[in-house]
Structure 1
Amino acid sequence: MAKVIGLGGIFFKSTDPISLATWYKNHLHVPIENWGGAAFYHNEKPTPSYHVWTPFAQSTQYFAPTNKDFMFNFVVDNLEQALLQVTHGGGQQVGIIEDSEFGRFGWFIDPDGNKVELWQPSAIPPEN
């Protein structure tokens, strides 16, 4: 029987996908490729991390202040610097940085109005 072995990608609509991809390339160094998206290879991650897939209740406020039905998460190597870069590029930081057993988290709204979570993982991922 086949099984899921990881998160393959996040796909979403944008009113101007080229501009939005360029914004992420300029402000978070997302490695945008010629086809318009990015591929993240595990050998390029500076710290151990993993992909998660989590359905939320329809009533969740976790994606607030947006009214979008999704939010995506990027692993970063320096959370404070990444948030500074996106705010200097016109993004809007949401809330304060939070520390947890999984690492540090911060959020911002991108130019398309998407809420994005940035995650700086702990040195060692928690066990199941």
Structure 2
Amino acid sequence: MAKALGVGGIFFKSKDPKALLAWYQRALGVPSESPDYATFFPTAMPAGGCTVFSPFMLDTEYFAPSASSFMFNLVVDDLDGALKQVAEAGGTLAGDIASYEYGRFGWFIDPDGNKVELWEPTASA
């Protein structure tokens, strides 16, 4: 049986894709090898980091206050610093930081209204 080996990309619509990608490059240091996309390689993932694939129920409130039917998660090396940069770049912080044994999480709303989750994994995760 063939198997899925990981997430190969996150693709979503935007009213101005180049401007939104440029915002992510400024706000979070997303790689900028292209004005059309960013590439994250597995070697950049910190110890304890991984990609999670998780469908949610249609009535979930987890993506609120965004009206989007998706939310993506970005692994960061410094959650507090990343949230500060996002706010300074004009993003809207959403909720309080949550801590678990596998890491710390924070959320924001990007310029297109998408809720984004940031995850700083613990090395032991």
Report the TM-score range of the alignment, normalised by the length of the smaller protein.
over 0.9
Are the aligned partners of 1:106 and 1:118 in contact in 2 as well (CA < 8 Å)? yes
User: Is the Cα–Cα contact under 8 Å of residues 47 and 77 in structure 1 kept in the other structure?
Assistant: no
* Deviation at residue 101 of structure 1 after TM alignment: 1.9
Measure the CA separation in 2 of the matches of 1:35 and 1:3.
32
The aligned residue for residue 15 of structure 1 is 15
Percent identical residues: 54
Q: Normalising by the residue count of structure 1, what TM-score does the alignment of the two structures yield?
A: 0.93
Q: Which runs of 5+ in 1 are unaligned?
A: none
When the two structures are aligned, how many residues end up with a matched partner? 125
Cα offset, 1:9, TM superposition: 1.2
Say whether residues 1:110 and 2:104 are aligned partners.
Answer: no
**CA offset at residue 41 of structure 1?**
0.6
Deviates more, 1:68-77 or 1:26-35: 26-35
Over aligned residues, Cα RMSD in angstroms? 1.0
Tell me the distance in 1 between the aligned counterparts of 2:47 and 2:19: 29
Q: 1:35 offset after TM fit, Å?
A: 5.6
Higher relative contact order (CA 8 A, sep 6+): 2
User: 2:28–2:86: 8 Å Cα contact kept in structure 1?
Assistant: yes
Please give the alpha-carbon distance, in whole angstroms, between the structure 2 residues aligned to 1:26 and 1:47: 25
Q: What TM-score results when the alignment is normalised by the length of structure 2?
A: 0.96
| Residue of structure 1 equivalent to 2:64 | 64
List per-residue Cα deviations over 1:76-123 (Å, max 9, x = no partner). 000000000000000000011000122000000000000000000011
**CA shift at 1:46, angstroms?**
3.6
Structure 2 gap segments, 5+ residues each:
none
Distance in 1 between residues matched to 2:53 and 2:46, nearest whole Å: 21
